Amino acid sequence: VPDPRFYRRAGPHQLAYVAKIAGAEFGPGINPSNLIEDVAPLARAGKSAVSFATADFADDFARAACGACLVTVALAPRAPSSCVPLICPDPRYAFAAVARAFYPPRTQSVLISGARAADAVVAPDAVIEHGAIIASGASIGPGCRIGANAVVGPGVEIGRDCSIGANVVLGYCIIGDNVVIHPGTVIGQAGFGFAAGPRGATRIPQLGRVLIRDHVELGANCTVDRGAFDDTIIGVGTKTDNMVHIGHSVVLGANCIVVAQSGIAGSTTIGDGVIIGGQVAISDHLTIGAGARIASKSGVMRDVGPGETVMGYPAKPVKKFWREVATLARLTRKSAP
Amino acid sequence: VPDPRFYRRAGPHQLAYVAKIAGAEFGPGINPSNLIEDVAPLARAGKSAVSFATADFADDFARAACGACLVTVALAPRAPSSCVPLICPDPRYAFAAVARAFYPPRTQSVLISGARAADAVVAPDAVIEHGAIIASGASIGPGCRIGANAVVGPGVEIGRDCSIGANVVLGYCIIGDNVVIHPGTVIGQAGFGFAAGPRGATRIPQLGRVLIRDHVELGANCTVDRGAFDDTIIGVGTKTDNMVHIGHSVVLGANCIVVAQSGIAGSTTIGDGVIIGGQVAISDHLTIGAGARIASKSGVMRDVGPGETVMGYPAKPVKKFWREVATLARLTRKSAP
Amino acid sequence: VPDPRFYRRAGPHQLAYVAKIAGAEFGPGINPSNLIEDVAPLARAGKSAVSFATADFADDFARAACGACLVTVALAPRAPSSCVPLICPDPRYAFAAVARAFYPPRTQSVLISGARAADAVVAPDAVIEHGAIIASGASIGPGCRIGANAVVGPGVEIGRDCSIGANVVLGYCIIGDNVVIHPGTVIGQAGFGFAAGPRGATRIPQLGRVLIRDHVELGANCTVDRGAFDDTIIGVGTKTDNMVHIGHSVVLGANCIVVAQSGIAGSTTIGDGVIIGGQVAISDHLTIGAGARIASKSGVMRDVGPGETVMGYPAKPVKKFWREVATLARLTRKSAP
């Protein structure tokens, strides 16, 4: 369920209203006044929530506990008896519209007047530098320093002894103790999630959070996105260099090292103690095992096992990479005129 | 002609003055008091403007309509009769100096006193968060939200229902309706245009704009440069992820998708519906056809046809890329001891 | 010695106290009350300073002039007679703790109250835009413009006629004349230096500065780190594009060009007039000779000689790169079914 510190739910909505927004239809014998209270992903939607299912998740759909589900006409017969299928041509696109109806974009009016909201909680010994803005519902623990012109968004929680750099922007995040964030880094903006539709891409509401654990240090001008439902998490003691991009719903383990200008795409999970060199790209929805090492400038397109060292584009075991480099050099010399 | 909302012209200047600034000479029988009113690129310079020509553009020069033109002594004889050749050793370098004389760097004094300039036009229902700065001549449409500590530069126009994130910096740009710009993104700074000279590189004035069409969404910590003369344009409905770099005078079509940390170099034109993966680099002055797809981490050094899918460094058709990967792996296995 | 404008030393400390912090032991017959005044790298530590040595630097250790040195038990017998060996299992990790004791993280309280510190020196004709913050001890020369919401940190020096963009963050740096820094760029934050320890990585204090010479221009959203002891230096006339990352203690020569999204890792030295394309990665501790050219998207893992042109991943002479590309394409065609 989206965290009420960050998201205000606009429901419940009647089933008929949900169907209308989705451009969907439902069968006879269903009470159109049934109340839907929330949106949720298929695996976590309860009987008062609406979800969506695509062909890739047909089996999950057949076992789903949701009260209503956006599906194609082809998939509708597989609905479990407790679930009202809402039939539409593009369930993912329709879900984006429904999710916006439950969580309308919130105007952050709390940031309009004055540098510090009346209901923000700031520890007496925290240092708030000039120009920093602390929004409604934010809380800042003892020993923190919030840098000049930084922006701490509504509901953001910061633990003890953190150092937040100048011009940092924090939103939709919970930050632990002893965290250091260097200047210009931006945390908690909506992840890059869109559904293709008849008039171009449409935004899928991003209703998750960013959780930054204790002793994390993030470099300058980094970006950490929040996810659609699952939180983006950076584990205890992990350190990133400058201009690192962490996509939505990424889970980065404890004590990882990420060198400058690397990017990790959405929903990838990275184990503890992984070392990632500079300018690495890691694709979405992968699993990188604990203790893996990824050489600089690699493009990782497949899972990496625990303790493995990979390199190259596409990334492969490091020995293989260097043998291929040597092979190509040798074959080229041979073929020289 | 540079947009007067952003650029204030300092001319007209007498021909003799222009020649002096350029370190150039002109032939006998020319009136040194002739007035030059503007600078322009060769293809668009009229009879009251000064331009420049290099050997690569000798044919264009012979057909040019400009009143005066910086050229080398070798090219001077090809001047059309209506054009006074201004002879100098390095026309591009000289042009940089002349352009600065017509468009001296403008001190943005409008930003000195107070968070909102008296002559800025802000719709009554627009939300301007604390610390945001709205400069002289800027206009902000109904339903907009300007994030905390964002900076809206002189003359910038923003349409309806836009959301501009915290700490965004906007300059020299015209923004349509329903545009979303995430925190930390910087738009409209001078493109990376320099002329090599006797004492190192010298800046070529960048006198263009950035045009952001309706329904565009730009991620966090992106950069979009303005160009020397031609506008940088981002088409309707295009979405970029975080840390994307759009070079000067790039034209990005409608409904494109650009994933995180990709960069598009100056003057490249990209058609509608192009999908660009993460950490892609696209060289300058290329044409990417509509509907093309560029795999993550590719380095594109040549034009890509409409609907083509490319991958690799250098980028090539995606099937060829994977066949080459397989070939090298096979040859390496064979050659193993 | 760390620059007192930026770093306040907390010593001297007694030898016994230093050993305690380091978790180190020293032999009998040494006066535990001996005073240690500073920390320094091995090559520059005098008799009142403590340093550290690892097996890689055993010969340097045997010749060192430092008064005390953190070393392993194996290396201790090689200590010169003037140096007290402080024996510990992990000298680099221990040194991080000792350096923090001499240079405790400084609370920048000077930035708390008011946009301009009373002791900042700002030339009368400098333009300080609205929202810009000038901290204690900073000095800004004649003809400068400091952009809206920019932050000039404690002790920062800026020469004449510089243009500092909106939302720029400057710390621990000395900036020459006629420098242009575009919006969103962050300079002087701690470099990415950590020592592995029993409870994860621990920060090595970064006690150097960033020196930006005359006529440098840095693009938007760049990052330039300061180093542990050696200054990060950007030479006269060098220009960088947007989102360029300059690591700690990098020395970039005069009149270099660095295109967008490139990164240079720590302690690499780059000669004058080097041209670096876009999205290049250069590894740490390398030497790139004057006049070298590095093609876009290269990954440089070895030194590059003066005037050489390299390309590829790993980077190699450009002709070799293209021959290899051709060889692989030919072998792939041959092997096609």
Tell me how close the Cα of A101 comes to any Cα of chain C, in angstroms.
35
Q: pLDDT category, B108, cuts 50, 70, 90?
A: low
Interchain proximity C327–A325, CB inside 8 Å: no
Give the neighbours of chain B: at least 3 Cβ pairs within 8 Å.
A, C
The confidence score (pLDDT) of residue C247 equals 98
Asked whether the predicted pLDDT for residue B199 surpasses 80, the reply is no
Mean pLDDT for the stretch of residues C280-308: 98
Question: Average pLDDT for residues A176-191, to the nearest whole number?
Answer: 97
The proportion of chain B whose per-residue pLDDT surpasses 70, expressed as a percent, equals 97
Integer Cα distance of C41 and C227 in angstroms: 12
Using pLDDT thresholds of 50, 70 and 90, give the confidence band for residue A282.
Answer: very high
3-state secondary structure of C224: strand
CA distances to A130, C106, C125, C147 from C116, rounded to whole Å, are 9, 19, 16, 14
Check residue B275 and give its pLDDT: 97
Q: What is the pLDDT of residue A214?
A: 98
What lies within 8 Å, CB to CB, of B233 at 6+ separation is B210, B211, B213, B250, B251, B252
**What is the pLDDT at residue A89?**
94
Gap between the Cα atoms of B199 and B207, Å rounded = 23
Q: How open is the CA angle A214-A217-A219, to the nearest 5 degrees?
A: 155
Report residue A111's pLDDT band, with 50, 70 and 90 as the boundaries. low
Q: What would the pLDDT profile of B4-63 be if each residue is shown by its tens digit? A: 888 989 989 999 999 999 999 999 999 999 999 999 999 999 999 999 999 988 999 999
Model confidence at C109: pLDDT above 70: no
Residue A13 has pLDDT above 90, yes or no: yes
Mean pLDDT of C103-131: 81
Which chain B residues contact residue C259 at CB under 8 A? Answer: 192, 265
Contact C282, C292 (CB under 8 A): no
Q: What percent of chain A has pLDDT over 70?
A: 97
* Residue B336 clears pLDDT 80, i.e. is over it: no
Which of C148, C237, C243 lies at the smallest CB-CB distance from B243? C243
With 60 as the cut, is the pLDDT of residue C211 above it? yes
- State yes or no: pLDDT of C263 exceeds 60: yes
Q: Which of B114-123, C169-178, C185-194 has the lowest mean pLDDT?
A: B114-123
| Contact status, residue B301 vs residue B282, Cβ threshold 8 Å | no
Count CB-CB contacts under 10 A for residue A194: 18
Integer CA distances (angstroms), B37 to B45, B62, B71, B88, B263, in order: 11, 21, 19, 20, 36
Q: What is the mean pLDDT of residues B250-261?
A: 98
Secondary structure in 3-state letters for chain B: CCCCCCCCCCCCEEHHHHHHHHCCECCCCCCCCCEECEECCHHHCCCCEEEECCHHHHHHHHCCCCCEEEECCCCHHHCCCCCEEEECCCHHHHHHHHHHHHCCCCCCHHHCCCCECCCCEECCCCEECCCCEECCCCEECCCCEECCCCEECCCCEECCCCEECCCCEECCEEECCCCEECCCCEEEEECCCEEEECCEEEECCCCCCEEECCCCEECCCCEEEECCCCCEEECCCCEECCCCEECCCCEECCCCEECCCCEECCCCEECCCCEECCCCEECCCCEECCCCEECCCCEECCCECCCCEEEECCEEEHHHHHHHHHHHHHHHHHCCC
pLDDT for A250-270, tens place per residue? 999 999 999 999 999 999 999
pLDDT, position C336:
67
Catalytic residue numbers of B, as ranges: 248
Q: What proportion of chain C, given as a percentage, has pLDDT over 70?
A: 97
Could you tell me how many CB contacts below 8 A there are between chain B and chain C?
144
pLDDT band at residue B106 under the 50/70/90 scheme: low
Nearest Cα neighbor of B327 from A71, A301, C327 is C327
> Which pLDDT score is estimated for B115?
87
pLDDT digits (tens, 9 = 90+) for B266-301: 999 999 999 999 999 999 999 999 999 999 999 999
Report whether pLDDT(A248) > 80.
yes
Whose tokens are 């939302």? That residue is C167
pLDDT score, position B168 = 98
Helices A91-102 and A15-22 cross at an angle (nearest 10°) of 130
Q: Which of B147, B254, B328 sits opposite A328 (nearest CB)?
A: B328
The pLDDT mean for chain C works out to 94
Confidence band of A170 (pLDDT split at 50, 70, 90): very high
Residue whose pair of structure tokens reads 């409608």 in the numeric block: B254
Has A248 been annotated as catalytic? yes
At C332 the pLDDT is 96
Distance between CA atoms of residues A155 and A183, nearest Å: 21
- Enter the ipTM: 0.94
Closest Cα of chain A to B92: distance in Å? 34
Q: Are B244 and B226 in contact (CB under 8 A)?
A: no
Residue C94 confidence (pLDDT) above 90: yes
Residue in A130, A163, A241 nearest the CB of C192: A241
